[in-house]
Structure 1
Amino acid sequence: MKILGLTGSIGMGKSTVAGMFEEAGVPVFDADAAVHALQGPGGALVERIEAEFPGTTGAAGVDRGQLGQRVLGDKAALARLEAIVHPAVAEMRKAFLEQHKDAPLIVFDIPLLFEKGGAGGLDAVAVVSAPAEVQRARVLARPGMTPEKFAYILGLQMPDAEKRQRADHVIDTGVSHEETRVQVRQLIACLLDRKER
């Protein structure tokens, strides 16, 4: 089995690319989705997060807006939250690996792969990237997003140019979906050492 780490900064189209891997039959472990499940209604981490950050949960699980306000800009609070979340996500990833142990290729979709040192145990890393103006337009079109919030998030992420440099593969999403899909199919073929049909 080969394990590909998939990463990319906010607004680069990583979720779209992860979907293209799934369409091609490659199992994808989505770290963000795992976090949502752990923090959603009845999620395994809701009680622990409420104990650490009182008033941030309710019937719908963790109120991500409330929790975000508590930890954004507070490195110590963010570290406390990560100490709760990261081990639980690692357990889910282990279970996913076991479930798909016969797959020739799997993808770990990890937003902060380089920032949080998540490249261990991966055979290769692919970065999803688009021109800065495309990224900005995509992000600012999101509900509730402001230029200030976007700038803050970018400040937490490694610059795109550095990610591209550190990656084994770059998937360009500043082109049409079909052109991106072709890149994904070519990468799968390359990783599995077979000719693209």
Structure 2
Amino acid sequence: MNMGLTGGIATGKSTVSRLLTECGAALVDADRIAREVVEPGQASLRLIAERFGQAVLLENGALNRKKLGEIVFADPAEREALERITHPAIRAVMKERMARLEREDPSRLVVVDVPLLYESELSSLFQKVMVVYVPREVQLERLMERDGLSREAAERRLHAQMDIEEKRKRADFVIDNRGSLEETTRLVESFWRENGRL
């Protein structure tokens, strides 16, 4: 089975994906792929520089993520322009890795961590979808603390994603991550016992 793993920013997707791999799942990480497709020499980085200007590049030619983030989180049209550049490249790599892992071991659960799974309308790629959930206020507090953001900046980032309650409603599986790591671990292990292998 392949399963999309999503949630919202600062809900704890990385923790849950790590726990799933510790149980034995294979992981395809869309965030990691997103970083790979904008490395120096990649077509996506060239297109980003053409669209947003040389100011989004560091002196060594790498992407200045902070500068690009300031632009795209302040303007939905700019964020959409970035997504039109990066999403096709990310999807192509993601599908290739999913197919390879499935060929290698058809009975192994393949987890694909995709932060914007619903926003990018990717549900159809997966047999099931798991959402890592925390209430919005907890999400906001964690984001401010984790990234050192003001409340206003954190709100803007949350606003750029689908509301976490809507994601929770659409999910096949929900991991409530507002408690301790031990509680989350128990929830993931329970899921694994029931769904880990075909």
TM-score norm. by structure 2 comes to 0.88
- SS state at 2:124 partner: coil
Structure number with the higher helix fraction is 2
Amino acid at match of 2:187: Q
User: Identity over aligned residues, as a percent?
Assistant: 36
Question: What are the within-5 Å matches in structure 2 for residues 177-188 of structure 1?
Answer: 177-188=181-192
CA RMSD of aligned residues (A): 2.0
Matches within 5 A, 1:40-119: 40-55=39-54, 56-58=56-58, 59=60, 61-101=62-102, 102-103=105-106, 104-119=108-123
* Match runs of 1:5-24 below 5 Å: 5-24=4-23
**Separation in 1 of the partners of 2:100 and 2:197?**
23
State how far apart, in whole Å, the 2-side matches of 1:137 and 1:71 are. 22
Q: Distance in 1 between matches of 2:164 and 2:178?
A: 13
The answer on whether the counterparts of 2:128 and 2:172 sit within 8 Å (CA) in structure 1 is yes
Gaps of 5+ in 2: none
TM-score computed with the length of structure 1 as normaliser? 0.88
* Conservation of the 8 A alpha-carbon contact between 2:134 and 2:178: yes
Contact 2:26 2:110 in 1 (8 A): yes
Q: State the Cα distance separating 1:7 from its structure 2 match.
A: 0.8
1:135 aligns with 2:134: no
Matches of 1:47 and 1:87, distance apart in 2: 15
Deviation for aligned residue 1:31: 1.0
For 1:140 and 1:75, how far apart are their aligned partners in 2? 21
What is the aligned residue count?
193
Unaligned runs of 5+ in 1: none
CA contact (8 A) 1:42 1:61 kept: no
* 1:57 aligned partner, one-letter code: L
1:117 counterpart SS class: coil
Deviations 1:99-146 (A, max 9, x none): 212242111111111122111121111111123443233111123311
